[in-house]
Structures are given as C-alpha cells and as structure tokens.
Amino acid sequence: MTPPILTSNAFLRSDGRKGIRNIVTVVYLVECAHHVSREIQTPFRDQGVHLLGFSGCYPNEYSFRMLRSLCTHPNVGAVLLVSLGCEGFNRKGLLEAVRATGRPAGLLVIQQAGGTRSTIRSGRDWVSKTLRELESTPRTTMALNELVVGTVCGGSDGTSGITANPAIGRAFDRLVSEEACCIFEETGELIGCEQIMVSRAVTPELGRILDESVVKAARYYATLGHGSFAPGNADGGLTTQEEKSMGAYSKSGSSPISGLIKPGDVPRKGGLYLLDVVPDGEVRFGFPNINDNAEIAELIACGSHVILFATGRGSVVGSAISPVIKVCANPETFLNLPEDMDVNAGRILEGESNLDQVGDEIHGLIKRIADGQPTASESLNHQEFVLGYKSFEPVGPTCHPTYQ
C-alpha cells in the first residue's frame, strides 16, 4: 500500500531525508559570540534565518551532539558557525560534520576576523549569498511515513489533561497508523505512569527500560529536592504531580511504544517513541530542562519536523528550526491569546467538539504546515532556543526492538 502523501514541496537532502523548511542557521559556539551572531541574523529574520547556539565555554559531548544533529536536521539548508576563538567547543569537528552532508557551511572566528564589526559584515555577506543559493534546493514529494512529529506541554493547567493533551494523543494514534514517527517526553513528567507505559511496550525488555527511565527521573528530582510540578501549574488548577503526569502521559495516545531514545537519536522507522531527557549518572548539571524550549530543542535534535505544544495557561514560545503548533487547552486562554494559538482544544470543554474531531484538526493542520503554511509562532517570528550541559549514555539495541 502506498503511504499517504504529506506534501509535494519538501526539500530533499543528500542523506535522503526531507525537510518542510529550508532555513539558514547562524550558530554561536560560546556566549561571547552570541551578540555578533545575533547581529548577523537579525536583518534576515523574516527570510528564514534562525539563531541558535551553545553558551558554555567548557566542552561537552551532549552539546556537540545536539548541535551536530540540529545543524544537519532536514529542515536546515545551510549553517554559519560563529566562534570567539578560544572556547572549548570543537568548531572544526562541527564544520566538517555539516559539510559532509553537502550543505553550505561557513565558519567565522571573531578573534581572527578583525573583531565585532568586521565579523558581522562578513557574516551578513555570507548569509545573503547563501540565501540565493538555497533558492535552487531540489523539491520533492514527502510521504507521511517520512514525517517525524514531537510533542511537549507547557504552561499546563487543570484543562490540559482533558482537552489538548489527549487530543494530541488522538492525532498521534492516527499518525502512527500512517507509519509516521511520533516522539513524546519527558520522563520527569511521567512519574506514576511507568507501569501503564510498560504494558504498551512492544517487548518486555523495552518495558523494563521504560520503567527504569522513570525511576531514574524520580531519583534525579528527589536528589535535587524538587520535581517538575511548578507553582504556575498549581495556580492553574492542577493539584498533584500524579495529576500532571496523567495529563502529560495522555499526549502519547494509545499506540504501542516502539522504543526509547535520548537527545540526538533519530528513529529509523515509524512508530511511537519515548524521549528520555533526564541525564544519566549522578546529578551534576542541575534541573534537567530549565524551560520548555530545552525540551523542544531535544525533540528537534531527534528529527522532529514539527512540534505539537499543548498549553493551558498559555505559552507563546516557538522555536528555531522546526514549526511549533500551539494546541490551547483552555477556552479562556484561547480568547486571551488568539494570535499565539493554532488550535482551540478548549471547544471540547464547551461541548462544541470532541477529542477525535480536534485530533483530526491537528492532523490536518500538520499537513498544511508541512506544505508551507506558517504556524502562529512562526508568523510572530518566535525562534526561541536554549542548550545547556548534560551527559548521556548511548542507548542499546533493546531500546530499539523494532529495528531488529
């Protein structure tokens, strides 16, 4: 059976993957290069040029892997790296990794380029030239089984777990049935749901791994002395960590869970995957995800072409690289923030719609976004991005039983 067509306007990459956007990323490799990079990017913000980077000076394998995955994401057409010159980041390694994919890639080292003004001038010249080159990027047809979709929730309230999150779950079930790849997270917000996930694992061994990932998250939060239940959640009507967990879990739908991945792992076939974002080993780096955009970046590093973001109280953030679709859980929030929201799942509370209908709406919107329609956050130039320090152990073959 021929997979359903998602779009005929996808951008073909040399590795065979296909993107739904063709952006240029300007990437700072230390906080000291952030201002120069932002000045390079800002004049081109409306032309699909995005800013991302890593603030740290000390090298970290996780941050390198994240930027390598993001800079070679199928939505990315070209990359300009901006270095101060004395930071610990492996700039040559990242440059070589991007160039190996055939993408246009440049490197500017501020200490060697004459300082702030001359680096900005050189960077803007490079971006202008590259934007013209990208106009000739080959277009192709993309099927639904080539699509990767991630989901996250933020600014959750008492409505999130009964409208937006389960509606996303219905969309996920439909996408998985069409052989798309769907990714949900985070283990720190799934505490109490581990045995339900175990029952959905495609193998008993994967079930054990899913359980261990949540146990690890609980141990991590206990060591820090706090969890993922924020004061804003309580103000929005959520009462316990368990209530929040059940709402967050409902985004996963009801399909079998095909595997567990970690940031930077790109699933090689369709199905439903849990993304473990809590660092391995002893607690060293503090709160595992300082804000929602850290989680979004990790979902994108796993190949997500588009992100489904459920919010009850109303988050306005978008993201660099991949479009973010806002699914608003609360009808009052939708009325207050209409220009920031894409889907009004609050209609379910008002009896105007049901979970299946909103799930179908989300599914249809994904197809239109893939065909070029901007999301609300894209139209408002939201391109938030954050990347910090973490440490992970590689996943083993039992985490990907469906690959065998």
Residue 238 has pLDDT above 50, yes or no: no
In percent, the amount of the chain with pLDDT more than 90 equals: 81
Residue 244 has pLDDT above 70, yes or no: no
What is the predicted pLDDT for the residue at 268?
A: 87
Residue 32 has pLDDT above 50, yes or no: yes
Residue 234 has pLDDT above 50, yes or no: no
Print burial letters for 329-367: b (CB count within 10 Å at least 16), e (below 16): bbbebbeebeebbbbbbbbbeeeebebeebbbbbbebbe
Q: Distance between CA 89 and CA 55 in Å, rounded?
A: 10
Per-residue pLDDT tens digits for 341-350: 999 999 999 9
Per-residue pLDDT tens digits for 187-197: 888 888 889 99
What is the predicted pLDDT for the residue at 228?
A: 61
Sole residue written with tokens 């306007």: 9
What is the predicted pLDDT for the residue at 245?
A: 64
Write down the mean pLDDT value for the chain.
93
* Confidence bin at 243 (pLDDT 50/70/90): low
Structure tokens at 161: 């777990």
Higher pLDDT, 225 or 211: 211
Q: Distance between CA 36 and CA 108 in Å, rounded?
A: 10
Of 58, 119, 59, 135, which is closest to residue 84 (Cα–Cα)?
Answer: 119
Determine contact, residues 179/335, Cβ cutoff 8 Å. Answer: no
**Complete domains list, the chain, with CATH:** 23-136 (3.40.50.2300), 143-403 (no CATH)
Q: What is the 3-state secondary structure (H, E, C) of 297-364?
A: HHHHHCCCCEEEEEECCCCCCCCCCCCEEEEECCHHHHHHCHHHCCEEHHHHCCCCCCHHHHHHHHHH
Cis peptide before 384 (omega within 30 of 0): no
Structure tokens at 301: 């590093």
Per-residue pLDDT tens digits for 142-190: 999 999 999 999 888 888 899 999 999 999 999 999 999 999 998 888 8
Residue 239 has pLDDT above 60, yes or no: no
Question: Mapping DSSP to helix (H, G, I), strand (E, B) and coil, where does residue 66 land?
Answer: helix
Per-residue pLDDT tens digits for 245-258: 677 889 999 999 99
Helices 34-41, 116-134: inter-axial angle, 10-degree rounding:
40
Structure tokens at 68: 């390598």
Identify any residues that bridge with 377 across adjacent strands, giving them in sequence order: none
Q: Distance between CA 258 and CA 267 in Å, rounded?
A: 10
